[in-house]
Amino acid sequence: MTEHFREVFYGELSFLVFNCVYEPAEDTFLLARNLVVYGGERVLDLGTGCGILAVLAAFKASYVLAVDINPCAVRCARENARRNGVLEKIDFICGNLFDPLRTHSSFDLILFNAPYLPVEEEPKSWAEYAWSGGRDGRRVIDSFLERFIEHLKPGGRLLLVQSSLSGIERTMSTLMDKGCKAEIVDTIKSFFETIALIKAVKVQR
């Protein structure tokens, strides 16, 4: 199949972004510039889009699993892993959040630049899944928060991007209820929203 694409650069790396896929934006770069991965870690990149965060993680991680509900994103991410020489470290799966994962599959680090915008209508194209968070902007985030903890190792970290338009404080309090220490590690402010990068660490018991 012939794909139409743009090319996006991050440092010296280049990524193809197929037309049906989210183009890396300020929220992507907020997470990218705060991404710390230690040698040998297992990383889950949820909603991988063009795969930029999965590729960056794969330079240090021993294994990355990249998941997206958009089949076009999964094809695009695989192509970018190949272009950037990390294809052998990343598996790609198309599916909804944790559905495609085995029950006991757990990670040192989970990344999610989530769809967080409040929108009235259901997504009508694959591209719209990138930002569509349902009426209150929390449809995907709340499903994610229900299940992430079982896939995080004790001491494991979560990096989650979210907007003030969809309740950052509510997310912080849910993370703490789930047994995590949570903090906002970086923000981008505009006149209508703050985009926050939340870091949560699963407390070891």
Ligand X SMILES: C[S@@+](CC[C@H](N)C(=O)[O-])C[C@H]1O[C@@H](n2cnc3c(N)ncnc32)[C@H](O)[C@@H]1O
**Interface ranges with ligand X (CB under 6 A):** 22, 24, 28, 46-49, 52-53, 67-70, 73, 96-97, 113, 115, 129-130, 140
How many residues belong to the chain? Answer: 205
Give 107-121 as a DSSP string. Answer: EEEEEEE---B--SS
Cβ closest to ligand X, residue 77 vs residue 172? 77
The amino acid that residue 52 corresponds to is: I
* Smallest distance from ligand X to CB 203, Å: 26
Q: How far is the CB of 176 from ligand X (least distance, A)?
A: 23
63 versus 179: smaller Cβ distance to ligand X: 63
Cα separation values, 30 from 25, 33, 45, 155, Å: 9, 6, 15, 23
Please, what sign has the CA dihedral across residues 195, 160, 18, 15?
positive
Angle, vertex CA 80, rays to CA 187 and CA 86, nearest 5: 95
- Tokens for 152, please give them: 């995080």
**Please, which residues bridge with residue 91 across strands?**
65
User: End-to-end CA distance of the chain, in Å?
Assistant: 50
Residue with smaller CB distance to ligand X, 125 or 176: 125
The residue number with the shortest CB distance to ligand X is: 47
Token digits of residue 30: 């907020």
CB of 130 to ligand X, least distance (A): 4
Closest distance between ligand X and the C-beta of residue 179, in Å? 23
Closer by beta carbon to ligand X, 69 or else 200 = 69
Q: Closest separation between CB of residue 204 and ligand X, Å?
A: 28
72 vs 172, beta carbon nearer ligand X: 72
